[in-house]
Structure 1
Amino acid sequence: MELSCKSEYAILALIEMATHYNSGEPMQIRQIAAQQSIPDRYLEQLLATLRRGGILKSQRGARGGYFLAREPRKISIFDILECLEGLEATAGEDNVKTQTLDGSVIEEIWQEARQAANAVLKKYSLEDLCEKRDARKQLNVMYYI
Structure 2
Amino acid sequence: MELSCKSEYAILALLEMAAHYESGEPLQIRHIAARQNIPDRYLEQLLATLRRGGIVKSQRGSKGGYLLTREPRKIILFEILECLEGLEVRTGEEKVNSKTVDSSVIEEIWQEASRAANSVLQKYTLQDLCEKRDSRRQLDIMYYI
Give the drift of 1:89: 7.7
Partner residue, 1:41: 41
Partner residue, 1:8: 8
8 Å CA contact 2:89, 2:115 repeated in 1: no
Amino acid at match of 1:76: I
Give the drift of 1:105: 1.0
Structure 1, gaps ≥5 residues long: none
Q: Given the alignment of the two structures, is residue 83 of structure 1 paired with residue 114 of structure 2, yes or no?
A: no
Partner residue, 1:24: 24
Give the drift of 1:96: 8.4
What CA deviation, in whole Å up to 9, does each residue of 1:84-117 have, x standing for no partner? 000018887x848521111111101100100100
Partner residue, 1:71: 71
Partner residue, 2:124: 124
TM-score (norm 2): 0.93
- The separation in 1 between residues aligned to 2:90 and 2:61, in whole angstroms, is 37
- The separation in 2 between residues aligned to 1:87 and 1:58, in whole angstroms, is 24
- The separation in 2 between residues aligned to 1:95 and 1:82, in whole angstroms, is 21
- Give the length in aligned residue pairs: 142
Amino acid at match of 2:32: I
Q: Given the alignment of the two structures, is residue 53 of structure 1 paired with residue 66 of structure 2, yes or no?
A: no
Describe the SS at the equivalent of 1:87.
coil
- The aligned runs of 1:104-119 (5 Å cut-off) are 104-119=104-119
| Structure 1 stretches of 4+ moved >3 Å | 89-92, 94-97
- The separation in 2 between residues aligned to 1:128 and 1:17, in whole angstroms, is 14
What CA deviation, in whole Å up to 9, does each residue of 1:46-96 have, x standing for no partner? 00000000000111111110000011000011010000000018887x848
Amino acid at match of 1:62: S
Amino acid at match of 1:127: Q
Give the 3 Å change call, closer, same or farther, for CA 95–33 of structure 1 in structure 2.
farther
Seq. identity, %: 74
TM-score (norm 1): 0.93
Structure 2, gaps ≥5 residues long: none
- The separation in 1 between residues aligned to 2:98 and 2:15, in whole angstroms, is 41
Describe the SS at the equivalent of 2:66.
strand
Give the CA RMSD over aligned residues. Answer: 1.7
